[in-house]
Amino acid sequence: MPFRCPVCDQETIRARDKWASNSFAPVTCSNCRAEVYASSRLTALWRIAEALLVTLVVLLAFVSGQPATLVIALVFVLILEVLRVMLVPLVKLERVGGGFR
């Protein structure tokens, strides 16, 4: 399932590339050659929430003595990563001075 480039609006970004993208390693659109990446702020917030949720599930596994709960934590991570790829928007990389914006 390809994602739309925010610059040319063509479905040229692969899910794997979007998942791995960030402002230091953007994806290049094969149509317009724009460098794009998954929004850093939203990705960071998403991963913080993901880490908190998984930490709670792992603590629950140790407290309850149910190792199967660790499998639930892994499933949570997989589901949340799929949702992150689906929901976090791609943005165009803009170089400002010597840095990025």
Question: What pTM did the predictor assign?
Answer: 0.71
pLDDT above 80 (res 95): no
Q: CA-CA distances (angstroms) from residue 86 to 19, 62, 81, 101?
A: 9, 32, 9, 22
pLDDT above 70 (res 101): no
Residue 60 and residue 69 in contact, taking contact as beta carbons nearer than 8 Å: yes
Residue 70 and residue 62 in contact, taking contact as beta carbons nearer than 8 Å: no
**Residues 16-75: tens digit of each pLDDT:** 999 888 888 899 999 999 999 988 777 788 888 888 888 888 888 788 887 777 787 788
DSSP string, 27-58: EEPTTT--EEEE-HHHHHHHHHHHHHHHHHHH
